[in-house]
């Protein structure tokens, strides 16, 4: 089971500029070894960006992972 501490640590690795938010560019960098396109990443952000600011904050990332781990 994934803990909140694990998710927070993962979020910190994604948030390269320590802004408290993960941008499309930061997520693309983290996923560069995968075959996700920029549009794939942007679609993911849009789908989970509850405050519609174009980036994911810790609460949005936490909600995604906690929801996925419950199923």
Given a contact cutoff of 8 angstroms between Cβ atoms, the answer to whether 45 and 31 are in contact is no
Domain limits, the chain: 4-70
pLDDT digits 0-9 by tens, 2-38: 788 999 999 999 999 999 999 999 999 998 888 889 9
Terminal C-alpha separation, the chain? 11
The CATH superfamily label for domain 4-70 reads EF-hand (1.10.238.10)
| Residue carrying the six token digits 């980036």 | 55
Please tell me the predicted confidence (pLDDT) of residue 71.
58
Q: What is the pTM of this model?
A: 0.82
Give residue-wise pLDDT tens across range 35-56.
Answer: 889 999 999 999 999 999 999 9
């Amino acid at each position: 089971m994934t803990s909140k501490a694990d998710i927070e640590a993962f979020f910190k690795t994604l948030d390269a500029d320590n802004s408290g938010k993960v941008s499309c560019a930061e997520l693309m960098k983290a996923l560069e070894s995968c075959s996700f396109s920029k549009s794939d990443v942007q679609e993911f952000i849009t789908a989970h960006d509850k405050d519609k600011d174009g980036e994911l904050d810790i609460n949005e990332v936490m909600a995604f992972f906690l929801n996925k781990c419950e199923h």
